[in-house]
Structure 1
């Protein structure tokens, strides 16, 4: 109960601020309309109108909730107006990119830890790659892939992999290097080689670090998939919902897509966290 109260307090405070901001940002249109009609607007009428505008600057929470209900429960999942349909399109690219980025990140981390040349050469390039804004590199990837006749899921997955591999590299390198000198020396006294040391000591020790980086990577992968949908003028995916909402001034649609993306990201991070608890428990590690 004690842990629930602070969370509920923060949630209530956020809703109060959200509703207040909706009144403030949407009131200009209401007052302008009333001024043109030569009418006065009471505070209650102002609040009611700012919370029910068709195209508000900032939609009220209940408007976003109604849109979410309409585009999930009230639509078939095969409908192009269903957020579940668009969410699945984005999720597919997210998971594929996450798998590619995670695999590449782990391989690079193993090479960096066991090869000094890779540590001196690959790691700086991996760091430098993250200084390039994803909004700049995404259109380049899309254009190159299109010129090769590759469209749809794969280009978005590559962008997702680009964002997700770096946290995995950093976390895995830290984890593989986490065993202390005494532990490494102990294995040497047992005549263990690099391969045995990796499987018996370095890899198990890296698991907490790996899962922490995977939580960051899966969220970054989702961002990459959404960004990958923006430069293409896509008609499917959460990015497409954001695009169409911005084109037609449908701010409620934009916010519902944002909330759906946030829920999807939280769910993916939660799944990774659940796998982490199960894996570490079976390995006898305390979190």
Structure 2
């Protein structure tokens, strides 16, 4: 455990120290201006450092300011309040999971069609790749506004944006996974007179499991990004994206950083959850633990 935890703690400590130093450097001009307006001269260095770490609207908030905001807005306040980060995190999580499920299902379906049908392989794959060249910041407003024009608001437009991002790694991973069986294995099943469904269920699908879960870990993370981007285009629905947007409008950098940390922690938890699901599926399938 020491060999695993100690390097992580050392890197984390280095990041925190660099962060505090950067906060002094970036907040120093504004702090010097505040002293000049107040007519203060010859301020001790220690006081200057402490004041640069305690500004109301700093350019770069100090770590203790960010975690203090997380505590005040996520733990010390009722989770049902619209001012609560927990409330907004739940809204973002709902869109993320809904879009991720849709994206994973779509990705698997497209991969199966591509592997088993040469026409689908030739026609679908180029368009799937081309779809990811369109910037999500251009797609999200069109989706939100288009669905809003027909009266569809809330979770669905945001989930569709998440699906648009998350289906691509699943398609690519599953196509690779479904094609991993070697020719000798396929020939063996043909020797046993296996049906196409039996070949898929007994050989291709189990072979694709490592690729599927690797793709899902990527997909769940970018699905969260899609949900946040969707919320930036609809500031009436709530979510971490809305907190980022309102913080940007009001110059509340501490609020922006707190929302970013909550989003990052949420993504980490979701990736870990996919990893736990992977271990459970592998154990169910009789795979040896790594």
Match of 2:161 in 1: 159
Q: Does 1:189 align with 2:191?
A: yes
- The equivalent residue for 1:67 is 69
For 1:209, the equivalent position in structure 2 comes to 211
2:269 to 260, 263, 267: 267
Match of 2:94 in 1: 92
Give 1:148 deviation, angstroms: 1.6
Partner of 1:78: 80
> What aligned pairs does 1:21-32 form with structure 2 within 5 A after superposition?
21-32=22-33
Q: Which residue of 2 aligns with 1:101?
A: 103
Give RMSD over aligned pairs. Answer: 1.0
Partner SS state of residue 2, structure 1: helix
- Total equivalences in the alignment: 287
The match for 1:115 is 117
| Residue matched to 1:19 | 20
In structure 2, distance between residues paired with 1:221 and 1:89: 13
User: 1:180 Cα deviation (Å)?
Assistant: 1.1
Report the Cα offset of residue 233 of structure 1: 2.4
TM-score by length of 1: 0.98
How far apart, CA to CA, are the structure 2 residues paired with 1:91 and 1:33?
A: 40
Q: Which blocks of at least 5 consecutive residues in structure 2 are unaligned?
A: none
Per-residue Cα deviation, 1:230-266 (whole angstroms, up to 9, x for no partner): 1122351001100110111100000000000000000
Instruction: Tell me which residue corresponds to 1:257.
Output: 259
In structure 1, C-alpha distance between the alignment counterparts of 2:165 and 2:159, rounded to whole Å: 10
Q: CA deviation at 1:143?
A: 1.4
Indicate whether 1:135 and 2:137 are aligned. yes
Q: Give the SS at the match of 1:57.
A: coil
Post-superposition shift, 1:33? 2.1
Q: Is the 8 A contact 2:154 2:237 kept in 1?
A: no
Specify the SS of the correspondent of 2:3: coil
When structure 1 is superposed on structure 2, of 43-52 and 125-134 the one drifting more is: 43-52
Look up the SS of the partner of 1:3 in the other structure.
helix
Distance 1:151 1:231 in 2: 11
**1:8-64 per-position Cα deviation (integer Å, ceiling 9, x unaligned):** 011000001110110000011111222342512222112101110010000000000
- 3-state SS in 1 of match to 2:276: helix
